Amino acid sequence: MLGLDKKDWTLLLIVAVLALAAPFILNPFPAGSELAQFNAGYPDLMQRFAIFGIFAIGFNILFGLTGYLSFGHAAFLGVGSYSAVWMFKLLSMNVVPAILLSMVVAALFSLLIGFVSLRRSGIYFSILTLAFAQMSFNLAYSVLTPITNGETGLQLTLDDPRILGASATADGSIPVTNLFGLEMRSTFELEIGAWLFQFNAGYYLCAVIMLLAFYAAMRIFRSPFGIMLRAVKSNQQRMTYTGLNPRPYTLAAFVISGMYAGLAGGLMASMDPLAGAERMQWTASGEVVLMTILGGAGTLLGPVLGAGFIKYFENIFSKINDNVLHGWFSFLPDGLEDLLVSIVHPFVGKGWHLTLGILFMLVVIFLPGGLIEGGQRIVRLFRKKKAPRGEDADHHPKETPHVAE
């Protein structure tokens, strides 16, 4: 059904349940408790989980399947954001035209960059994409200020000549982004006992689009086109000897990946109509590389897990300060409390990068396949414990494997 087998449908269903039930799953601790600091079920962070999940899924189509490591994908993220904000300024506050334009512009931009960069492979390709991204950043930051508004960033104003909508509301404020009238900031709060759950319209739009993007990635992975991309990664020279030209396939993968990045940029602008040059910096490109490797490059679910993992650390652990730490350890004697606070202090707050770096090193060293490999090891461990020893399920003795000499 829809080109997916039973295993793929199960995976898609799991992702759908996790995405749609995120307000419950990400709020395990009661509001107001000391552990509520670790809750991540508020709209802004959930939107980031979904948006950067889309960004990482698209990057994985290029890096995970073809093995081409791009350090310039943030350029497409930034171009998508700028395109969406311009659509809001000129046409309408409806997010659909803005998202579509961001994908189209990102596709054209990635076609241009990919056509030039893919003339080289390996580290030379990576350096070329990094150079293009930094060129784009500098153009947006200084040269193209009439279009990008430079370092201030492109944002909505009361003077925008909006064709299909008012430039200002009745109370004189700037209109908000919407989906055919449903405001993206619209949030329904559900209070159950000591728990507070928030259901945000903007998040659910991002979640649905992420599911569609995930489904499209699954179809690409399972298609003959995906097999050709794996052949490029496996041995491009051997593929050339068979008479197949790998360049059209890699260029198509680059453009598709760029469209995913543009989609993520358009969604970012749809949730918060602001576009700045900082979204095109090389650090943003490096971040999506970390997301993909941390989750598991070449896997379907890995990039989404990696994106959620990094954004969780960035938004949760960075907010833990000394006051929070003293609240956690307040039950201890003063001397011991201060000692523990001084030990933990370098790893949270402004030092959250240190904790993330340590965890990233541990994953790379012990789980080369990323978080997905860790999950697979746990599953295999439980299966071994459940399996009967010496006999299979039909009580037939297991054959002793021959040892190669």
pLDDT per residue as tens digits for the range 112-148: 999 999 999 889 999 999 999 999 999 999 889 989 9
pLDDT digits (tens, 9 = 90+) for 162-212: 898 888 888 888 899 999 989 999 999 999 988 989 999 999 999 999 999
What is the Rg, in whole angstroms, of the alpha carbon atoms belonging to the chain?
24
Q: What are the two backbone dihedrals, phi and then psi, of residue 273, each rounded to the nearest 5 degrees?
A: -70, 75
Query: What is the DSSP secondary structure assignment for residue 141, as one 8-state letter?
Result: I
Could you give the CA distance from residue 94 to residue 24 in angstroms, rounded to a whole number? 28
Of the candidates 155, 117, 151, the one whose C-alpha atom is nearest the C-alpha of residue 133 is 117
pLDDT digits (tens, 9 = 90+) for 31-58: 878 788 888 888 999 999 999 999 999 9
Confidence of residue 387 (pLDDT cuts 50, 70, 90): low
The 10 Å Cβ neighbour count of residue 135 is 15
Distances (CA, A) of 273 to 63, 87, 89, 95, 115: 30, 10, 10, 10, 31
Q: Is 279 in contact with 77 (CB distance < 8 Å)?
A: yes
Of the candidates 61, 102, 88, 223, the one whose C-alpha atom is nearest the C-alpha of residue 160 is 88
Could you give the CA distance from residue 296 to residue 281 in angstroms, rounded to a whole number? 24
Supply the pTM of this predicted model: 0.90
3-state secondary structure of 401: coil
pLDDT digits (tens, 9 = 90+) for 349-384: 888 888 888 888 888 888 888 889 888 888 888 888
Q: What is the full DSSP assignment across 314-379?
A: HHTGGG--HHHHHHHTTTS-HHHHHHHHHHHGGGSGGGHHHHHHHHHHHHHHH-TT-HHHHHHHHH
The maximal CA–CA distance of the chain, rounded, in angstroms, is 84
Cα dihedral sign, 115-120-126-129: negative
The crossing angle, in degrees rounded to 10, of helices 247-271 and 43-66 is: 180
